[in-house]
Structure 1
Amino acid sequence: MSSNSFRVMKFGGSSVGSPRRLRQVIELIGKHSRTGPLAVVVSAMGDTTDWLLEAADLATRGELEGSLTVVARIAHLAKTNAAALHPAQSTTLAARVDQLLAPLQQLLQGISLTRECSPASKDKVLAFGEVISATLLAELLKAAGTDAHFRDARLLLVTDDTFGTARVDVSRTRERLQVAITEWGASLPIIPGFIAATLDGRTTTLGRNGSDYTAALVAQGVGASEVTVWTDVLGLHTADPDLVSDAYPVAHLTHGEGLELAAVGVRMLHPRTMIPLIEAGISLRIRNTMHPDHPGTLIDAIGSRDGQRPTCIATREDLALLGIEVRKLSDQFQLGERALAALRAARVTVWMTAQSANGQSIALVVPRPDAPRARNALETELAQELARREVEPLGVREPVTLVTLVAEAMGHGVNVAGRFFSALGAVGVGVRASAQGASSRSISCVVDAEDTAIAVRTTHAAFNLAHQQVSLFVLGKGTVGGQLLAQLRTQQEQLRQRHGIALRVVGIADSRRTLFDSTGLALDGIEEQLARVVRGEPGTRALAPLLDELRRLPVPILVDCTADGDVASLYTEAFRRGIHVVAANKKPLALPWNEREALLAEARHHHVAYHYETTVASSLPVIDTLANLVRTGDTVRLITASLSGSVGFICNELTSGVPLSTAVRTARERGFTESDPREDLSGADVARKALILARELGLSLSLADVALEPFVPEPSDAGDSPESYLRSLRALDAEYTQKVERCKQSGTVLRYLARIDPTRLGTDAPVIRVGLTAVEAGQPAADLRGSESFVSFTTTRHSEFPLTVRGAGAGGAVTASGVLADILRVSQTLRGR
């Protein structure tokens, strides 16, 4: 037989843990054994290894009966699996299981008598799991027509006597395997994984991922071309599927990428497994036992040639971050070397080290359970320096998570690290420490454990998805909110395909009901879904707990389409959780100056966006235009504006001869006014908008500083309801008809304008004035049509010809489009490409 064509297959415990999976394994082995030389390595069935540990622990405590009960559980699993696959020989196979377990029962009896289980004894106990699994698999393969034989790994793999994590003597192991393949002949070897033996025959185990390591050593020893690890997943994924629903299998990786992933603790890989494969140039393939047609993940010397190949995000959780900082550094201090040596002596695993350029501080990431031991070891090593206060007291931060980005292409591109940290910073995830290897194949950072999910999802989206995921929690389903949902319904697919942004509504709330689903709500019929929800606690306070769920989703945005005056505290809670806010709600911006400034400062402090363009002129880019003028050093001398599209519509209706009461009712029916038209006709809405603009100039004014003339004084018989108010307006029809007539006679047009004059600051004249004005023909405000709004900026640079922004200024659809534009602005800023 030519050893060059050998292949090695390894089957994990889940692959042989049930009759259904075991049957699939036998079929796979039978099929592949007919295509060339093959060796099979197998793990213990199901949870057998954990059960053996339990049995050993019980025996050590002297509880022999309990220990033997666990052995009976192991026997039952093995017998059940064997009987299901080969009922005709169930009695024979059951007897074989009992025969194999008899020495285990004697061993446990001895442990219970001495109340001691040495590492050597524990290795003997654990070996029974793989031996039973490999023995039964060989028997079942024979019964299925495949010439298979059990080959004891303890006669093939030679190790030292470091029980529990034995070190392999690679040279002697290779010699034994080269002899073994000549003895195997045409039969198929079934080799137990995880176990080996010392040169004098004492049983040892290989530690974590031991069976994979066995497969790699066998492949190296027999000169195999490929190792296939059959497991219960489709391959190595771009991220942990439990954290990222969009994670997907990676088709092709290099040996180097595999080694990097193994080094940061990816469950299916281990450095010890990768090194023999790399040394011998053997490829590794990870495939799913129950989906044998799926190609899985191939790891070889070449890797993918696709320039856009995916990036893997690996996480290692339940860690602690230890920080050491030197106050006075000398050349002899050697902080990093001493710290690592101390932890090595204390047998503490260090998952990441990050040292400052001058060596004055170092961050060390260790398993959280080992943190006290690590701290003691470091404090002992640095005792003299601590006593002399040359070193700051050690800081420990726990629990933390190590997040690592792994991709061969990282070393060939620019701004990978920038995109990595920018993506995390954009969602408010604090990076506690970071490191990049010399290979530039990976970059790692430490984040707080509570930020694990959002960090992984955000990074995964930034590097692996063709689209940027965005999670929306919409407050309000009235005129603006309803239109926003309608626009999202019709534009979702277009936004994904053309702009690479996947908007997903995960929550919607009105004044008494809330719907929330982190996987996304179906927008078709969403209003009906909300209507079926049982009414809950009123107010925004009841929504705060949902922010904790929202913050863990990709690019979380709270979208406020209400006119609620009590949402500022909810905004603050959102900002503190790293949630962006997009709002059409003016009221938080019209709060007392100190409260408004505190709100904006909170957003800046947590590095999140607060966009409110639609609060002034619907979808018109007024705030952005003003901000650009100020940012570029221009000085605003005067702002003149028609800021209410609804009042503008009413003015045009009056000019056309329509009575006031009819014009207001029409504006309300078309969705131009607030739900209660008094907000518009009193001028309060325009006053807030004018105040928002003035404050964008840095003027610390309040609503009390606005000289306000209502568009319509409230009639004495207005009543409490909007409908009674509309009826009361009939008494004013004649008065407003006369006002329009007087304007026509003077060649002017009736308009309701806001005027902001910063030059009046510090004088007795009001800086902000809102009221009815007769505008001469030819002025920008004179020819406004329908519900148009306009804002005119007279500045140092735009003095002769003021800069004017003009367009539709009212209506749910128009405002909703402005809200959507603000949402996309957040999304595209984070996407960065």
Structure 2
Amino acid sequence: MQVLKFGGSSVANAENIKKVVQIVTHNNYAKQIVVVSAMKGVTDKLLQLGDKSCQPEKEYEKILQSLTTQHIEAANELLPVATRSGCLSMIMQIFNELEDICESVFRLQELSPATKDRIVGYGELLSSKIISAYLESIKVKNVWMDSRAVIETNNNYSYAAVDFEKTNVKIKDFLKSNPANLYMAPGFIARGNNGHATTLGRGGSDYSAAIYAAAVDAPSLEIWTDVSGMMTADPRWVPSAKPIPMISYKEAMELSHFGAKVIYPPTILPVMQKNIPVWVKNTFAPEDKGTLMNATASHEGNIVSGISSITEVALLSLEGGGMVGIPGFSKTLFEALAFAKVNVILITQGSSEYSICVAVNAVDASRASEAINKAFEFDIVNNKVFPVVEEDNLSIVALVGDKMKSHPNISGKMFGTLGRNGINVRAIAQGSSEKNISAVISNADVKKAVNVLHEAFFESVYKQLNVYVVGTGNVGGRLLEQIHHQLKYLKKNLSVEVRIVGLSNSRNMLIKENGSVSLTKWKEELEAAEAGDLDTFVNAVISKNLRNSIVVDVTANAAVAAVYGRLLSKSIAVVACNKIAASSSYASYAQLKSLSHEFNAPFLFETNVGAGLPVIGTLNDLIRSGDVVNKVQAVLSGTLNFVFNNYDATKPFAEVVRQAQAEGYTEPDPRLDLGGTDVMRKIMILAREAGYILEMDEIKNKSFLPASCFEGSVEDFYKEMEKHEAHFKALYNAAAKENCKLKFVAEFVNGKASVGLQHIPADSDFYHLYGKDNIVLFYTMRYPDQPLVVKGAGAGADVTASGVFADLIKAGI
């Protein structure tokens, strides 16, 4: 005798019921029992019906009418006119009974547990009788079996315990007295030993099917649902979740206990005791293999079977010196919770015995706290223990797998993965069997946690980076082009998938709720998006809480730099082309570095010095390897190098500067470059990265611009340069007279920094520096005489974008 169970989504409407019947009638089983749930959503409506019956107004009547219509429409669609009347009469009879019950509840203004169980059980009665009638209409003989007549329980309404000895006898007697090849049975419902209707708990139809399977020693039990088996994680949260081909009973129990919705936890016990295999299959894709559950299942290659979670959990902590070494405290705690009918989900206790904490469902938290405080009232009054501390808005995420016990570092990998993504763990529990490692975390982090753990343990194919770009101008646009060009390469060679999930500029902002921004149509998408607001954008980045989040700042905006701390403290990596943050006060710079370290969020700003050149990266490598920087000499402005390489006193200096700005080498205000401010920032950043404390006002600036050039607008600046052309010619001629070139050089020696225009002779490393090139000479303990030289293009949108892109990948991997 084969047993099949179909869930609420499988029998949600007439169309789905036809799929169920097709599965039932096209299999090769000689005899079968088919157990069904209520139609999707009906159980919730019936619970509402009971609750509304206690209201002063007759609000339940609308729900009753809605339920009646839903079932009549299904019957009308399924049954031909000639055979419809009997089924419709049955439906109306049931709803007349329901109406009488609701009217009684309304008059009494009281809904007892027994009455509630009776009301909520009608959903399965209706669905099973409608399907039975449909089978008869298509000439498929079947016997409807009332589960209330054969499954006997105690009188613990809503979660009744089954008397298996009596139940097994009744099921066998019914089958013997009513021989047939096909039996149709309602799930979820049973009858107490007092004769009143009971239910087996939400999801109890699975349990009903397991009870039948165990009673008849079925060769297997099939649970048909709307997914193709048990999944490695909740597919609603993790799109890349995969079906688990095989799983052991104990692993399945752990996963179902910790929130996996595919199977109701008590289901497994009856079939496990008789070693009956269980198949979890998809009604809407019956050809899919599904998941096989048995005693010895093994899933090759995966140490972890699945990841599950429970939301809306509260953590209750009991602490006090009076607990240490005193027997009986735990007993009193759990007795108090048992009397209060509070289920404990997780337990953890330190070896010091100073504290013990338990996780319970959030709805039970207040009742549980009250019960514990009452049980320990004497100890609390005498300061032996403190009153219970309740923490709300928590969830539990769990790794489950039989093989974890024989593999080291699973816990380390789990908590390392959570930590790297800024997910704080409030409590940990791991049984000695090591089939389950559980962590209590914030509700806000649970979706992110499940995703990062799934990525760590199941997605060896690629790592997903969720990127937000602030600034879509010249450099930002080139960055998006480069990312688009490299997507396939990154996925194939680095196992990295880059998703642009947010864009922002001075006018608009775009946050993708699902999916990513199109890298071919991003301009149009951003233009059509809502008006930009930095604070709203940052709040959205934080609240979305996506795994491996990276914010890329491709602006020169102080307001954007000011939000880095907020991002880093939420474990969101920051890649900055913007120099303002790293060149702000040393205290601010040091705080950002500290936040980066504390919250394991990379803060990278390679392009702050030398655009795409590996200047900061090289310096960091020197310091990390134990070297000491004694002196730095550098030409750090691609703008100034371009200007002085192209100025020969034959055309106005102002015209050369305009050319540099037109070709994208200067800051929006060229005075930041020509006045030396930009170079001061860069040498200060290098000094700080080398381990020195340095502020801007400590850097000596030998400016070559007349003071009047710094007054007024950018256009006024150009006019002033034209007035002072003789000054610029004199600077050029003075250098030419010595057979030297003009270079704006930055130096850092013995803790002192300076910038200024210098005459560079032909034997200098700086002499043969052309176009927009930069050069940095590092004199260190290991390179005392011949410096370590980094040289190349130090300006331009393409090279700057490539440097930002390189930082982005470093931040992600």
Per the alignment, do residues 718 and 74 of structure 1 end up closer, same or farther by CA in structure 2, a change over 3 Å counting? closer
Q: Which residue of 1 aligns with 2:503?
A: 508
Q: Does 1:791 align with 2:776?
A: yes
Per the alignment, do residues 694 and 359 of structure 1 end up closer, same or farther by CA in structure 2, a change over 3 Å counting? same
Contact 1:161 1:198 in 2 (8 A): yes
Contact 2:548 2:572 in 1 (8 A): yes
Q: Which residue of 1 aligns with 2:809?
A: 824
Q: Does 1:451 align with 2:427?
A: no
Q: Which residue of 2 aligns with 1:383?
A: 377
Q: Does 1:522 align with 2:518?
A: yes
Greater Cα offset, 8-17 or 104-113: 104-113
Greater Cα offset, 743-752 or 713-722: 713-722
Contact 2:303 2:402 in 1 (8 A): no
Q: State the distance in 2 between where 1:36 and 1:655 align.
A: 99
Per the alignment, do residues 639 and 439 of structure 1 end up closer, same or farther by CA in structure 2, a change over 3 Å counting? same
Greater Cα offset, 112-121 or 467-476: 112-121
Contact 1:518 1:549 in 2 (8 A): no
| Secondary structure in structure 1 of the residue aligned to 2:440 | strand
Contact 2:510 2:530 in 1 (8 A): no
Q: Which residue of 2 aligns with 1:462?
A: 456
Per the TM alignment, residue 487 of structure 1 is displaced from its structure 2 partner at its CA by: 0.7
Gaps (5+ residues) in structure 2?
A: none
Q: State the distance in 2 between where 1:175 and 1:404 align.
A: 39
Structure 1 segment 341-356 matched on structure 2, within 5 A:
341-356=335-350
Contact 1:8 1:215 in 2 (8 A): yes
| Secondary structure in structure 1 of the residue aligned to 2:417 | helix
1:154 alignment partner, one of 148, 152, 157: 148
Q: Does 1:708 align with 2:701?
A: yes
| Secondary structure in structure 1 of the residue aligned to 2:685 | helix
Instruction: Output one character per residue of 1:387-441: Cα deviation in whole Å (capped at 9) or x when no partner.
Output: 2323234221111111112233433433222222122212222111111122222
Q: Which residue of 2 aligns with 1:8?
A: 3
Q: Which residue of 1 aligns with 2:794?
A: 809
Code of the residue aligned with 2:778 in structure 1: it is F
2:271 alignment partner, one of 277, 288, 300: 277
2:749 alignment partner, one of 757, 777, 788: 757
Code of the residue aligned with 1:31 in structure 2: it is H
Q: Which residue of 1 aligns with 2:332?
A: 338
Q: Which residue of 2 aligns with 1:831?
A: none
Q: State the distance in 2 between where 1:668 and 1:108 align.
A: 80
Contact 1:655 1:740 in 2 (8 A): yes
Contact 1:209 1:268 in 2 (8 A): no
Q: Does 1:293 align with 2:290?
A: no
Aligned length: 810
Structure 1 segment 307-346 matched on structure 2, within 5 A:
307-308=301-302, 311-346=305-340
Q: State the distance in 2 between where 1:726 and 1:301 align.
A: 83
Code of the residue aligned with 1:44 in structure 2: it is A
Q: Which residue of 1 aligns with 2:591?
A: 598
| Secondary structure in structure 2 of the residue aligned to 1:177 | helix
Q: State the distance in 2 between where 1:529 and 1:160 align.
A: 61
Q: Which residue of 2 aligns with 1:394?
A: 388
TM-score of the superposition, structure 2-length normalised?
Answer: 0.92
Code of the residue aligned with 2:89 in structure 1: it is A
Contact 1:711 1:752 in 2 (8 A): no
Contact 1:752 1:770 in 2 (8 A): yes
Q: State the distance in 2 between where 1:291 and 1:531 align.
A: 42
Q: State the distance in 2 between where 1:555 and 1:656 align.
A: 53
Q: Which residue of 2 aligns with 1:483?
A: 478
Q: Which residue of 2 aligns with 1:556?
A: 549
Instruction: Output one character per residue of 1:681-710: Cα deviation in whole Å (capped at 9) or x when no partner.
Output: 221110111111222344433222221123
1:27 alignment partner, one of 18, 22, 27: 22
Contact 1:476 1:509 in 2 (8 A): yes
Per the TM alignment, residue 62 of structure 1 is displaced from its structure 2 partner at its CA by: 8.1
Code of the residue aligned with 1:120 in structure 2: it is A
Per the TM alignment, residue 68 of structure 1 is displaced from its structure 2 partner at its CA by: 6.2
Greater Cα offset, 379-388 or 472-481: 379-388
| Secondary structure in structure 1 of the residue aligned to 2:507 | coil
Greater Cα offset, 268-277 or 365-374: 268-277
Contact 2:348 2:427 in 1 (8 A): yes
Q: Does 1:80 align with 2:73?
A: yes
1:773 alignment partner, one of 758, 764, 771: 758
Per the TM alignment, residue 24 of structure 1 is displaced from its structure 2 partner at its CA by: 1.8
Per the alignment, do residues 173 and 601 of structure 1 end up closer, same or farther by CA in structure 2, a change over 3 Å counting? same
| Secondary structure in structure 1 of the residue aligned to 2:208 | helix
Per the alignment, do residues 60 and 530 of structure 1 end up closer, same or farther by CA in structure 2, a change over 3 Å counting? closer
Q: Which residue of 2 aligns with 1:244?
A: 238
Per the alignment, do residues 746 and 66 of structure 1 end up closer, same or farther by CA in structure 2, a change over 3 Å counting? closer
Contact 2:30 2:181 in 1 (8 A): no
| Secondary structure in structure 1 of the residue aligned to 2:244 | coil
Per the alignment, do residues 77 and 303 of structure 1 end up closer, same or farther by CA in structure 2, a change over 3 Å counting? same
Instruction: Output one character per residue of 1:591-620: Cα deviation in whole Å (capped at 9) or x when no partner.
Output: 223333334344444442211121112222
Per the TM alignment, residue 444 of structure 1 is displaced from its structure 2 partner at its CA by: 1.0
| Secondary structure in structure 2 of the residue aligned to 1:238 | coil
2:161 alignment partner, one of 162, 167, 175: 167
Structure 1 segment 595-674 matched on structure 2, within 5 A:
595-654=588-647, 660-661=653-654, 663-674=656-667
Code of the residue aligned with 2:763 in structure 1: it is G
Q: Does 1:195 align with 2:189?
A: yes
Code of the residue aligned with 2:760 in structure 1: it is V
Q: State the distance in 1 between where 2:183 and 2:755 align.
A: 91
Per the TM alignment, residue 492 of structure 1 is displaced from its structure 2 partner at its CA by: 1.5
Greater Cα offset, 654-663 or 83-92: 654-663
Contact 1:660 1:732 in 2 (8 A): no
Per the alignment, do residues 690 and 54 of structure 1 end up closer, same or farther by CA in structure 2, a change over 3 Å counting? closer
Code of the residue aligned with 1:756 in structure 2: it is F
Code of the residue aligned with 1:170 in structure 2: it is F
Per the TM alignment, residue 458 of structure 1 is displaced from its structure 2 partner at its CA by: 2.4
Q: State the distance in 2 between where 1:528 and 1:202 align.
A: 65
Per the TM alignment, residue 59 of structure 1 is displaced from its structure 2 partner at its CA by: 4.8
| Secondary structure in structure 2 of the residue aligned to 1:672 | coil
| Secondary structure in structure 2 of the residue aligned to 1:679 | helix
Code of the residue aligned with 1:757 in structure 2: it is V
Contact 2:556 2:579 in 1 (8 A): yes
Contact 1:518 1:553 in 2 (8 A): no
Q: Which residue of 2 aligns with 1:134?
A: 128
Gaps (5+ residues) in structure 1?
A: 1-5, 760-766, 829-833
Give percent identity, aligned residues only.
31
Q: State the distance in 2 between where 1:506 and 1:165 align.
A: 45
Contact 1:311 1:464 in 2 (8 A): no
Q: Which residue of 1 aligns with 2:673?
A: 680
Instruction: Output one character per residue of 1:180-214: Cα deviation in whole Å (capped at 9) or x when no partner.
Output: 44445442000111112245644322122211001
Contact 1:158 1:197 in 2 (8 A): yes
Q: State the distance in 2 between where 1:572 and 1:473 align.
A: 16
Q: Does 1:413 align with 2:390?
A: no
Code of the residue aligned with 2:67 in structure 1: it is I
| Secondary structure in structure 2 of the residue aligned to 1:634 | coil
Per the TM alignment, residue 647 of structure 1 is displaced from its structure 2 partner at its CA by: 2.0
